[in-house]
Amino acid sequence: TTQSPHRWSLESRSGLGARERGQRLSWTPQVPCEPLRSPSIWENSDTCWPSGEQHPFLLASPQEVKIDKNLEPGLRVTVQLNQKQLPESKTYRGKVVSSQDPRTKAGLYWGYTVRLASCLSAVFAEAPFQDGYDLTIGTSERGSDVTSAQLPSFRHALVVFGGLQGLEAGVDADPNLEVAEPSVLFDLYVNTCPSQGSRTIRTEEAILISLAALQPGLTQAGARPS
């Protein structure tokens, strides 16, 4: 169950399914992963509130869902289920919404998108937002202690992590950059693990450590008016 006033459902990452004019494509789960319990993953204990041309769409849920649009089979969509459902109905009813709605309207984690950048400078230059990033944070063992960092208000923040050779390697390999120190590229240059006790931290570990350390400040700064 969920305390959110909205109920959301997302077609599974591990399989696709739909019905189109009598054609049935079955949803087949792949190798199971550890239980993340992400809001986008349906659980047997989940419930939803009893609620143009409707198109049946099979989601990764125990029941089929009729939505408000005709879609091509195989499309991945985010569906907001109606708060009122008919208890006797074998299908849920809902509508297709933006994949950003669960995050922006209900504060739910809803996965991520991947953007491939050819070099470090492209990470900034090819921002998906019209005005770019108004807060950029670089992470490095040579940065200032994250606990003393003062985060300004922002709309779109960017946190950048280096590999085992650090962000310095990204600067050296970028033909578009004429700087020697990566710190000058960022509004803040922080060390999120000042007592790490090892020469290096793997990037996948640094991401978890850094986001946990930055989360309180980012939440507070993001809530302030710009």
* Chain segment 152-204, per-residue pLDDT in tens: 999 999 999 998 889 999 999 999 999 999 999 999 999 999 888 888 889 99
- Which class for 9: exposed (0-12), middle (13-18), buried (19 or more C-beta within 10 A)? buried
Task: Give the pLDDT confidence score for residue 49 in this predicted structure.
Answer: 35
Task: Give the pLDDT confidence score for residue 152 in this predicted structure.
Answer: 93
Of the two residues 222 and 223, the one the predictor is more confident about is 222
Give backbone dihedrals phi and psi of 204, rounded to 5 degrees, phi first: -65, -30
Of the two residues 115 and 40, the one the predictor is more confident about is 115
Residues of the chain with CATH 3.40.1280.10: 120-222
Task: Give the pLDDT confidence score for residue 19 in this predicted structure.
Answer: 42
Task: Give the number of residues written for the chain.
Answer: 226
Architecture of domain 120-222: 3-Layer(aba) Sandwich (3.40)
Position 61 pLDDT exceeds 90: no
Of the two residues 75 and 133, the one the predictor is more confident about is 133
Mean pLDDT of all residues in the chain?
77
What is the band of 101 on the pLDDT scale with cuts at 50, 70, 90? Answer: confident
Of the two residues 10 and 126, the one the predictor is more confident about is 126
The hierarchical CATH code for the domain 1-28+52-111 is 2.40.50.140
Q: Are 102 and 108 in contact (CB under 8 A)?
A: yes
How far apart are alpha carbons 199 and 34 in whole angstroms?
A: 30
Task: Give the pLDDT confidence score for residue 27 in this predicted structure.
Answer: 44
Work out the percent of the chain whose per-residue pLDDT is above 70.
70
Of 6-15, 87-96, 152-161, 192-201, where does mean pLDDT reach its minimum?
6-15
Of the two residues 42 and 162, the one the predictor is more confident about is 162
Task: Give the pLDDT confidence score for residue 43 in this predicted structure.
Answer: 58
Neighbours of 81 (CB within 10 A): 22
Q: Are 19 and 70 in contact (CB under 8 A)?
A: no
Residues of the chain with CATH 2.40.50.140: 1-28+52-111
Task: Give the pLDDT confidence score for residue 25 in this predicted structure.
Answer: 42
Task: Give the pLDDT confidence score for residue 17 in this predicted structure.
Answer: 40
